[in-house]
Amino acid sequence: MQQLLLELAPPPAPTLENFFPGRNGAALEALRGALAGGEAFVFLWGPNGSGKTHLLRAFGDGSGARRASAYLPAGNPDWARADGTRAVAVDDVARLDGAGQIALFDLCNRLRADGGALAASGNAPPSRLPLRPDLGSRLASGIILQLHPLDDVEKAAALRDHAARRSMALEEDLIRYLLTHFDRDMGTQISVLDALDKHSLERKRPVTLPLLKEALRSLGREGNS
């Protein structure tokens, strides 16, 4: 059911503009400041689902940047993508092997010397991650901010905000249904809402819970009631 809806409206590309901050407004402003030439290093930490990857992808994919940028995912990043860039995002630095940690340390030094910017992330602050001391010190030399997952009230507010941008009015029963019957990450929630908006425009009907259930039935699956 969920996958069929997502095929109608794939998740939008992460940007700083479509990130709903909740309690994470300081992180959003820190990244914007880094892109604008402020503090060069920003480290974001928090649990899965707190928005780390969204923010780093937005930062490294050039959201709002006037400089060459790159996003390097967790695991085994392609360091060559960072060559010549001035803004780099490195996700989940604790997963880097020894060679990767050396590469990131060298990248930190290059960006600092060139006036560039780095955003990095982990599930804990640099001092509590299994990193080389010199790398941990570099990552801790800038702004360190904890990210907090959105609670249900904030998720509902994020859905209303996204709907308002698309000139939709959401009923409370529809919001409750979205939050209880679909994956709770905001990428999925927004994608389902976008798919429903598309269905409503095709049917020339307002966005409601009955319309969502109708859309699910039309895709060959009965929605839970």
What CATH number is given to the structural domain containing 156?
A: 1.10.8
Q: Are 6 and 109 spatial neighbours (Cβ–Cβ below 8 Å)?
A: no
- Is the full-model pTM beyond 0.75? yes
Domain termination residue (choose one: 91, 125, 146): 146
Q: Look at residue 224 and tell me if it is in a domain.
A: no
Residues 46 and 107 in one domain: yes
pLDDT for residue 76: 82
Residues 210 and 156 in one domain: yes
Q: Which domain holds residue 120?
A: 25-146
- What is the tens place of the pLDDT at every residue in 203-218? 899 999 999 888 888 7
pLDDT for residue 219: 66
How many whole angstroms separate alpha carbon 107 and alpha carbon 211?
A: 51
Sheet holding 117-122, edge to edge: 69-72, 87-90, 117-122, 41-45, 143-146
- What is the tens place of the pLDDT at every residue in 68-99? 899 999 888 999 999 989 999 999 999 999 99
pLDDT for residue 9: 62
Q: Which residues of the chain fall short of a pLDDT of 50?
A: 1, 64, 221-225
